[in-house]
Structure 1
């Protein structure tokens, strides 16, 4: 089980998570095994009102890429309609969003059925939950290795190194990192990627170029999940 975080909002956490799940599923299919994958998103804002309740597009993509089929509520137990910071939405609706409250809503028994499980965060590593608490505290309580998605754009070196530093300072390990090109016009892209490869302390899992069709099937072609399977 891994926690997926990003250097910022819109760094590509969902694209990378679904790509990793798809890559795992392909390996399972080639091997003819019955190992199961699962992607979950404990907290999501920016949800759509449907006949079945609130639905988040990222959570639905994770469900689609997972071979273990669970209910929506098991995948995304805490959801908010407005596309704003979750702790602000929670305060407006008087919802307890402490790490302990989130932990209580996680169906870890169902998740345990998966051989490869990714828990996608919201925002960046220090996502506020309100009252001085952060989502990173939940990851600490679960003691999960972290996959870092680096949104490749101007400033990404600083963002990546600071996020890596914070994860390590929290006593957790970085299982691997992925470069995701969010800015198609980023200057000296190759040089920035080379610098990251020198400075990051964890395995490089792949680089997703700026895709015209940014879907899991296509992005999975750029993923190397083997370092994760060795954990």
Structure 2
């Protein structure tokens, strides 16, 4: 695990806005939504960078450990940024990050992540930060994923993977975010099961019961691209416009 360098601190008023993307589970489209948000903001002429602070399942390359999702986020950015700033905590085994860190003989610390984020925020209008797994995923003996947006002082966007069980997962996640004392800015429904039964009824229940606005409904896309996902995120654009 490496600690990223920064390009120096900018005045507080020069720093970009940020949003933390979490999900109801793993493999529910957090990266696709993150890339879609980046694309949507870029289409409005904004400078946008992304970040995936913690990633497991990284491949060893000539340049060190690299995570495919983090590399996509790096490539989507409005300007070139060192990989270590995008993904300061990278681990090879595709397992829970605190277990991967323990196997590597290290602990995930907040300070390098905060430094990396501050470096990105000094260079962009918006920084979209993608979490790992779900809200309560352990990052260490005392840390959980919830500690990341708290340390970075970011509002939270919940990605709900539309599949069987999503209602319970979404409501529990929203409750946990509230219990953590962090603002749930909104939620995005992402179609991950093209054969999901009663999808519209499930969406109606989410609208009625989640204590935050829906920022978009992304249908199941066999070959999603950032541009195609961005077409379905008008609610998120309204939020980001109001935050500027």
How do 1:61-140 residues align onto structure 2 when only pairs under 5 Å count?
A: 61-98=72-109, 100-103=110-113, 106-140=116-150
**Which of 210, 224, 230 is equivalent to 1:220?**
230
Where 1:113 maps in the other structure, the secondary structure is: coil
| Contact 2:177-2:183 at 8 Å conserved across structures | yes
Where 1:195 maps in the other structure, the secondary structure is: helix
Task: Tell me how far apart the structure 1 counterparts of residues 117 and 216 of structure 2 sit (CA, whole Å).
Answer: 30
Q: TM-score, normalised by structure 1?
A: 0.92
Alpha-carbon shift at residue 215 of structure 1 (Å): 1.8
- Count of equivalent residues: 224
| Contact 2:49-2:120 at 8 Å conserved across structures | no
| Contact 1:2-1:147 at 8 Å conserved across structures | yes
**Which of 133, 139, 153 is equivalent to 1:143?**
153
Task: Tell me how far apart the structure 1 counterparts of residues 88 and 130 of structure 2 sit (CA, whole Å).
Answer: 13
Confirm whether residue 181 of structure 1 aligns to residue 198 of structure 2.
no
Where 1:120 maps in the other structure, the secondary structure is: strand
**Which of 15, 32, 38 is equivalent to 2:32?**
15
Task: Tell me how far apart the structure 2 counterparts of residues 103 and 116 of structure 1 sit (CA, whole Å).
Answer: 17
Structure 1 unmatched runs, 5+: 29-34
Q: Which residue pairs with 1:4 in the alignment?
A: 21
**1:88-119 residue CA offsets vs partner (Å, 9 max, x unmatched):** 11001111114x35545525133322111111
Structure 2 unmatched runs, 5+: 1-17
Task: Tell me how far apart the structure 2 counterparts of residues 206 and 198 of structure 1 sit (CA, whole Å).
Answer: 15
Q: Which residue pairs with 2:9 in the alignment?
A: none
Q: TM-score, normalised by structure 2?
A: 0.87
Where 1:134 maps in the other structure, the secondary structure is: coil
Confirm whether residue 156 of structure 1 aligns to residue 166 of structure 2.
yes
Confirm whether residue 229 of structure 1 aligns to residue 244 of structure 2.
no
| Contact 1:129-1:135 at 8 Å conserved across structures | yes
Q: Root-mean-square deviation (CA), in Å?
A: 1.4
**1:144-181 residue CA offsets vs partner (Å, 9 max, x unmatched):** 10010001111101111111111111111111210001
Following TM superposition, the consecutive aligned residue runs of length 4 or more in structure 1 with deviations greater than 6 angstroms are none
